[in-house]
């Protein structure tokens, strides 16, 4: 089809404006993180402060004991959730993908409905549960909560992925003496690397970004995760913007790297799994 | 496909046990608590006997009669509809544009994904910096357009507008990508056939594109509504529900009540939110043109 010229021009115009709006706030925070505190409070729009680029904000944060501790806590929680979440979701998804049994449809439906649970409804009873088992103010409370919260979406996505892998492959494997678990572990999982990558990414991001439960379950300053720790910096009357900006960059970079590595898989996964359910 | 169902249950057991313990049991417990007067002082600890009592539906009456709750309820609905409307329309516009053969398409697509890649609470903090009344970037533009400087988080109606701007910014990429996937699933020959029949571009859009996106749209709009309704971080990290609680949506209000120690009331809020979403999605599945 011959494109009229105005469509092409209009398309580029809209894309350019949209791309600027999408990227500009991120760039602004990024450049701000390299300014000295006093130059942030300027009404002039400057990409680089008058005294040039400074790494002082990063140095200050990265040498602070509490920020290091929060970063480690977040890494530990997110890593544990990634591993446990993938394992739980993959086994369940395999059962749902490879077997027809009574209660299968109900199980699928439950996973769908579970995506609707507001975190807030779990907040009160989970708080009580962790108090009673002595896990309040402990990182395992978060690992347990986040792994479970990430499960429904992950199961549906991995199931859709497993569905695309022909069953013949496992049958062939069984002829060669692989058991049922061997078929899952040696054949289906290795063929599902993109699906597993997305599930891992989803688990990691869920854990890395969650604030509400963490702020309710964690008390001691050395136990906080990054979102909760960062929120202790926030002071409506005197925001330390230089630190918030640098912290934002430090916190976002791991996620953005993963995101752009995983985005191709993420998108095709969303299209086959998340969206079609 | 196999039918030895006990093996399937073995595969699913760890997950189902975890879900039962961490999601469903707490859900039942939350519901029971809504019928009590439990709070942080009478919940009981290892050192102190619990002393709460059953109070019937009192919490529901308290919640529904509270003007702050009613205000938060209305604002939550406005918040959800406005956000999802802009997510969907802007996402569709960008998806249609990106679905053409354009030079630099990949580059544009990657840039447009940036808001999705950033943790949502970080976006909210970053935007708060941009909204700042004295030196925020945005007020340089409003000044340019002659609106003057705006105190975004304390002036009506801007304290409602500001969190919506943040969330529209953050939420468009997901819709764009999902709809782009839907567009790529529409067979090209339908457009060819329409062109042969002399259909205009606009007619093709309404008669081929829109119906072709129906099932994807049904699903992403439902998901968008549920997510936005429950979206805690944007409100909490921008206006914090202020000024004077006016921008609290139900989940941030419930969190505030929880922090005040009113566990039973917070649980009641949770159950009400959940009920609203369940009822809504049942209606939605019935009204929606296709299986969502």
Q: pLDDT tens digit string along A82-101?
A: 999 999 999 999 999 888 88
ipTM of predicted assembly, 2 dp: 0.87
Tokens for B17?
A: 């046990």
> In whole angstroms, what is the distance from residue A210 CA to residue A137 CA?
15
What is the nearest CA distance from B95 to chain A, expressed in angstroms?
Answer: 10
- Please tell me the predicted confidence (pLDDT) of residue A276: 44
Q: Which of residues 96-135 of A touch B (CB under 8 A)?
A: 96, 98-102, 104, 107, 110, 113-129, 131
Q: Can you list the pairs that B193-200 forms with residues at least 24 positions away whose Cβ atoms lie under 8 Å?
A: B195/A1
What is the mean pLDDT of the segment spanning A247-272?
81
Instruction: Read off the pLDDT of each residue in A93-119 and give the average, rounded to a whole number.
Output: 83
What distances in angstroms separate CA A58 from CA A55, A131, A242, A247, A250, one per listed residue? Answer: 5, 36, 9, 8, 8
Of B45, B122, B223, the CB nearest to A251: B122
Give the range with max mean pLDDT: A115-119, A225-229, B279-283.
A225-229
pLDDT given for residue B1 in this prediction: 55
List domains and CATH numbers for chain A.
56-274 (1.10.3720.10)
Expressed in angstroms, the distance from the first to the final Cα of chain A is 35
Which residue is associated with the tokens 């990106």? B98
Q: What angle in degrees, to the nearest 10, is found between the helix axes of B263-287 and B25-33?
A: 120
Is residue B95 within 8 A of residue B209, CB to CB? The reply is: no
Q: Determine the Cα–Cα distance for residues B21 and A133; give it in Å rounded to an integer.
A: 13
**DSSP codes joined into one string, chain A:** -PPPHHHHHHHHHHHHHHHHHHHHHHHHHHHHTTS-HHHHS-SS--SS-TT----HHHHHHHT-HHHHHHHHHHHHHHHHHHHHHHHHHHHHHHHHHHB--TTHHHHHHHHHHHTT--HHHHHHHHHHHHHHTT-TTSHHHHHHHHHHHHHHHHHHHHHHHHHTS-THHHHHHHHTT--HHHIIIIIIHHHTHHHHHHHHHHHHHHHHH--HHHHHH--SGGG--HHHHHHTT--TTS--HHHHHHHHHHHHHHHHHHHHHHHHHHHHHIIIIITT-
**DSSP 8-state secondary structure symbol assigned to residue B205:** I
Angle of CA points B275, B278, B280, to nearest 5°:
105
A42: which chain B residues are within 8 Å (Cβ-Cβ)? 135
Please tell me the distance from the alpha carbon of residue B273 to that of residue B227, in angstroms, as a whole number: 12
Distance in angstroms (rounded) separating the CA atoms of residues B237 and B231 = 11
Tens digits of per-residue pLDDT, A195-208?
A: 888 889 889 999 99
> For A150, which residue in chain B has the nearest alpha carbon?
B19
State the Cα–Cα distance between residues A45 and A37, nearest whole angstrom: 15
Distance CA B93, CA B116 (A): 17
The class level of CATH for B67-287 reads: mainly alpha
How does pLDDT run across A34-87, given as a tens digit for each residue? Answer: 988 887 777 677 777 777 788 989 999 999 889 999 999 999 999 999 999 999
- Tens-digit pLDDT profile for residues B206-229: 999 999 898 888 888 988 999 899
User: Residues 20-79, chain B: which have Cβ within 8 Å of A?
Assistant: 21-23, 25-27, 29-30, 33, 43, 45
Choose the weakest-confidence range: A218-227, A262-271, B278-287. A262-271
Mean residue pLDDT of chain A comes to 86
Whether B14 and chain A come into contact, CB under 8 Å, resolves to yes
Which among B120, B123, B270 is the nearest to A121, CB-wise? Answer: B270
- Span between the terminal Cα atoms of chain B, in Å: 25
Distance in angstroms (rounded) separating the CA atoms of residues A46 and B284: 49
* Stretch B108-121: mean pLDDT: 93
pLDDT score recorded for residue B68:
95
CB-based contact, A184 to chain B, within 8 Å: yes
Contact residues, chain A, for B9 at CB < 8 Å: 95, 101
Residues 113-152 in B contacting A (C-alpha not used; CB under 8 Å): 113-123, 125-130, 132, 134-135, 137, 140
What are phi and psi for residue B142, nearest 5 degrees? -60, -35
User: For residue A276, how far is the Cα from the chain centroid?
Assistant: 21
Which of A119 and A254 is assigned the larger pLDDT? A254
Peptide bond before B243: cis, by omega within 30 degrees of 0?
A: yes
Positions of CATH 1.10.3720.10 in chain B:
67-287
Q: Confidence band (pLDDT; 50, 70, 90) for A274? A: very low
Q: What is the pLDDT of residue A132?
A: 83
What count of other Cβ atoms lies within 10 Å of the Cβ of residue B164? 17
Tokens of B10: 């073995």
In chain A, residues with a C-beta closer than 8 Å to the C-beta of B226 are 115-116
Greater model confidence, A167 or B44: A167
pLDDT of residue A271: 60
pLDDT for A272 beyond 70: no
């Amino acid at each position: 089809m011959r494109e009229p010229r105005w469509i092409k021009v209009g398309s580029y115009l809209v894309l350019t404006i949209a791309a600027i709006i999408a990227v500009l706030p991120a760039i602004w925070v990024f450049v701000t993180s390299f300014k000295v505190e006093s130059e942030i409070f300027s009404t002039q729009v400057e990409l680089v402060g008058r005294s040039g680029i400074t790494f002082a904000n990063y140095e200050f944060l990265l040498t602070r004991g509490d920020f290091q501790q929060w970063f480690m806590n977040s890494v530990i929680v997110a890593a544990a959730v990634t591993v446990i979440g993938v394992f739980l979701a993959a086994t369940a998804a395999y059962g749902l993908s490879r077997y027809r049994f009574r209660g299968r449809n109900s199980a699928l439906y439950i996973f769908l409905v579970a995506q609707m649970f507001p975190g807030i409804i779990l907040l009160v009873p989970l708080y009580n549960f962790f108090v009673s088992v002595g896990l309040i103010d402990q990182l395992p409370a978060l690992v347990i909560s986040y792994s479970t919260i990430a499960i429904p979406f992950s199961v549906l996505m991995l199931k859709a992925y497993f569905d695309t892998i022909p069953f013949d492959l496992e049958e062939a494997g069984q002829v060669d003496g692989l058991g049922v678990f061997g078929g899952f572990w040696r054949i289906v999982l290795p063929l599902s690397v993109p699906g597993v990558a997305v599930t891992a990414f989803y688990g990691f991001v869920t854990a890395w970004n969650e604030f509400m439960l963490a702020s309710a379950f964690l008390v001691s300053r050395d136990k906080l995760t990054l979102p909760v720790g960062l929120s202790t910096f926030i002071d409506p009357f005197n925001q330390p913007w230089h630190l918030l900006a640098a912290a934002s960059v430090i916190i976002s970079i791991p996620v953005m790297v993963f995101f752009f590595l995983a985005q191709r898989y993420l998108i095709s996964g969303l299209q086959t799994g998340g969206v079609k359910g | 496909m196999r039918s030895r169902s006990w093996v399937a249950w073995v595969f699913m057991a760890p997950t189902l046990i975890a879900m039962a313990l961490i999601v469903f049991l707490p859900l039942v417990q939350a519901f029971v608590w809504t019928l009590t007067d439990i709070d942080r002082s009478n919940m009981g600890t290892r050192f102190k006997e619990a002393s709460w009592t059953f109070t019937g539906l009192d919490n529901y009456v308290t919640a529904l009669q509270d003007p702050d709750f009613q205000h938060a309820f209305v604002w939550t609905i406005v918040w959800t509809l406005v956000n999802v409307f802009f997510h969907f329309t802007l996402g569709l516009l960008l998806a249609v544009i990106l679905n053409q053969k354009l030079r630099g398409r990949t580059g544009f697509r990657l840039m447009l994904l940036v808001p999705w890649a950033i943790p949502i609470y970080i976006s909210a903090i970053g935007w708060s910096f941009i909204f700042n009344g004295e030196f925020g970037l945005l007020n340089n533009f409003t000044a340019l357009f002659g609106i003057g400087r705006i105190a975004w988080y304390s002036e009506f109606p801007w304290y409602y507008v500001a969190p919506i701007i943040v969330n529209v910014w953050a939420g468009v990429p997901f819709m764009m990508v999902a709809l782009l996937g839907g567009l790529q699933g529409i067979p090209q020959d339908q457009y060819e056939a329409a062109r042969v029949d002399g259909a205009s571009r606009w007619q093709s859009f309404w008669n081929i594109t829109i119906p072709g996106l129906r099932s994807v749209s049904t699903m992403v709009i439902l998901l968008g509504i549920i997510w936005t309704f429950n979206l805690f971080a944007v409100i909490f990290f921008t206006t914090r529900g202020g000024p004077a609680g006016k921008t609290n949506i139900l989940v941030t209000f419930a969190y505030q009540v929880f922090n005040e120690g009113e566990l039973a009331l917070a649980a009641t809020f949770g159950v009400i939110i959940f009920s609203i979403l369940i009822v809504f999605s049942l209606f939605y599945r019935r009204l929606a043109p296709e299986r969502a």
